[in-house]
Amino acid sequence: MSTVRKVAVVGWGAIGRVVGTALAEGRVTGAELVCVVDNRPLGEAAPVRQATFEEAMESCDLVVEAAGQGVVREWGERVLASGTDLLIASTGALTDDELTKRLLAAGPGRVYFTGGAVGGLDLLQAVRTLGPLDEVRLTTTKLPSTLEQPWMDEELLGRMRTATGPVEVMSGTARDVPVKFPKSTNVAASVALAVGDLDAVRVQVVADPAAQHTRHVIEASGGHGSYRFEVAHLPDPVNPATSQVVPYAVLRSLAALAGRTGQIL
């Protein structure tokens, strides 16, 4: 394999544009942007040629998914079977146990996941080897407008739209919440991936009209210790459903895959 990772970015939206532009400008040592995959004609908006998925798999050794859970479901296994590595940003797709098993078993390409808008996942993944965690809770707070979904009834939408303070929108496990909020709760699936159990992670989604920042609070405890991580991010100005930091988390993961020294792994 070449010492320079040849990269395809899938999705030229709020995440893909930042990642692709940084790659095109040479800001990730050891990684080169070869093509962009998107179902819309991009014209001169993309800094490199627009390609099909098939062309990307032929010309690249690493595909970066920044286009949503549907892309992971439709193309994830095919990318890995072609021998191309895959970096997934839309971890919410992993609420499907069967899909997750197939992705982890596929190859010869390797699959990687980015932590996105939350921290502490490396520590949770490390401490789970000491024994199971007794309790893991995630509370996500966002602006009401970013949480509205087609399945919501008028009563819930009304409470969200007229709220003067925090309103609980949904509570459940990391298995069922990301399915209901496919663009807003990838963090829940990422926490479950670190813990190793979708059903062990209790998730609360809160709408707050005063939420200038998107806030994620992870609380976990077990016989070996207790852990609490809290982050508050500005929403992305183009797509407020995601946090501004997410593409930079993808770039950090890319830098590690490209072999940059000094990375915390």
- Structure confidence by residue, pLDDT tens digits, 79-125: 999 999 999 998 888 888 889 999 999 989 999 998 888 888 989 99
pLDDT over threshold 80, residue 61:
yes
**Cβ(128)–Cβ(196) below 8 Å:** yes
**Cβ(52)–Cβ(37) below 8 Å:** yes
**Cβ(6)–Cβ(258) below 8 Å:** no
User: Average pLDDT in the 13-18 region?
Assistant: 92
Say which residue, 3 or 173, is predicted with more confidence.
173
At 164 the pLDDT is 93
Strand order in the sheet with 31-37: 49-50, 31-37, 5-10, 62-65, 85-88, 111-113
Q: Whose CA is closest to 86, among 67, 181, 97?
A: 67
Map tokens 């920042």 to a residue. 213
Beta bridge partners of 16: none
User: Average pLDDT in the 174-185 region?
Assistant: 84
Say which residue, 252 or 184, is predicted with more confidence.
252
Distance CA 94, CA 73 (A): 9
Exposed e or buried b per residue across 57-72, where buried means at least 16 C-beta atoms within 10 angstroms of its C-beta:
beebbbbbbbbbbebb
At 45 the pLDDT is 85
At 82 the pLDDT is 95
In the structure, what pLDDT confidence band is assigned to residue 1 with cuts at 50, 70 and 90?
A: very low
Q: Give residues with Cβ within 8 angstroms of 150, minimum separation 6.
A: none
pLDDT over threshold 90, residue 154:
yes
At 107 the pLDDT is 86
Distance CA 157, CA 144 (A): 9
Say which residue, 6 or 68, is predicted with more confidence.
6
- Structural domains in the chain? 5-116+245-257 (3.40.50.720), 121-233 (3.30.360.10)
Catalytic residues, by residue number, are: 216
